[in-house]
Structure 1
Amino acid sequence: MYKVVVITDPESATGFRLAGSDVLEVEDSFEASRVLSSLLHEEETGIIAIREDYLANLDKSLYEQVERCYHPVIIPIPAPRKGDEVSGYVERLLRRAIGYNVVMRS
């Protein structure tokens, strides 16, 4: 069975883990590029969800590789907007993904 892997920042990682995904936390676009490059060659990875701003900052050769690959499937996910609380961002993503409003309490 293929697995879903999410590449995101540490602040958003918990919400994706709660949704049942494998999560790889990265600090910046450079680290995201390195992680994505290694995941492209793993057979068991079926879907990679990566923050859209990380995807937009890939170097040209890696971006072209992502554009040409059909396995794994690469899905951009929205990055947090300025002023967003982390819980609000994760709640918005979960609502889009599962169709229900999940309220996170601390």
Structure 2
Amino acid sequence: MYKCMVVTDPETAIGFRLAGLEVIELIDPKEASALLSSLLYRDDTGIIAMNEDFIAELDGRIMERVEKTYRPIVIPIPSGKRAVGQENYIERLLRKAIGYNIVVRQ
């Protein structure tokens, strides 16, 4: 069985730990690319929930790998301030999963 991992900042990490999830805390968003590149090759992980600020800082090659792989799936965790371009990633993720383009509006 695959597990869900959370990569987020220290302020929101405690809530995910209380829910029983494995949490990796990062302070600097620039560390996210190195961490995610190692997490993508783990056999026991099915979902990686990552703070959207960290996703915005990902290296282009890592993001390309994330979009091409079917497992683990990387999903953004909203951070309070809206990161530019995240809705495009979510739309691509939905289109890949169900085969249709769904427009997400607020």
Tell me the equivalent position of 2:47.
47
CA distance in 1, matches of 2:34, 2:10: 16
Q: CA deviation at 1:52?
A: 1.0
Q: CA deviation at 1:29?
A: 1.6
Tell me the equivalent position of 2:32.
32
Cα RMSD (Å): 1.0
CA distance in 2, matches of 1:22, 1:65: 22
**Count of matched residue pairs:** 81
Unmatched tracts of structure 2, length 5 or more:
82-106
CA distance in 2, matches of 1:80, 1:5: 20
Q: Identity over the aligned pairs, expressed in percent?
A: 56
Query: Does 1:5 pair with 2:10?
Result: no
Q: CA deviation at 1:80?
A: 3.4
Moved over 4 A (4+): none
CA distance in 1, matches of 2:9, 2:22: 13
Could you tell me the TM-score, scaled by structure 1's length?
0.72
Aligned positions of 1:87-102 closer than 5 A? none
Q: Secondary structure at the match of 2:24?
A: strand
Tell me the equivalent position of 2:62.
62
